[in-house]
Amino acid sequence: MTLRLLGETPALPLHTAGKYVAGAYIVLFLLVLIYVAVMAVRLGRIERQLGELLELTERPPVAKDPSAARSGELEAEALDPVHAESTPA
């Protein structure tokens, strides 16, 4: 079916101006392609940053004063004794 349709379509006069027309359409294609590539890089960066944020949510909080740190440890111990034991005091 496709081959028959292609066979019936008129031949394009590519001999003279063909390279210029092809060049113009390739430029458009390349512009879109470059843009899509840039978007893909950006998407990768966003994904990586999202991963870092996920890590940040899973990380235990950094305590500034020792009492707060100790209370944080106690809370951590209370909630997750196995993990707390393996952490050096």
User: Does residue 3 interact with other proteins by CB under 8 A?
Assistant: no
**3-state SS class at 80:** coil
The encoded tokens of residue 37 equal 């590539």
Subset of 50-89 contacting other proteins (CB under 8 A): 50, 52-54, 56-64, 68, 72, 75-76, 78-80
What is the C-alpha to C-alpha distance for residues 9 and 11, in angstroms, rounded to an integer?
6
What is the C-alpha to C-alpha distance for residues 76 and 63, in angstroms, rounded to an integer?
13
- The single residue among 33, 37, 44, 46 that binds other proteins, judged by CB under 8 A, is 46
Q: Is 67:73 a contact under the CB 8 Å cutoff?
A: no
Positions touching other proteins (CB under 8 A) are 9-10, 12-14, 16-18, 20-21, 23-25, 27-28, 31-32, 35, 39, 42-43, 46, 49-50, 52-54, 56-64, 68, 72, 75-76, 78-80
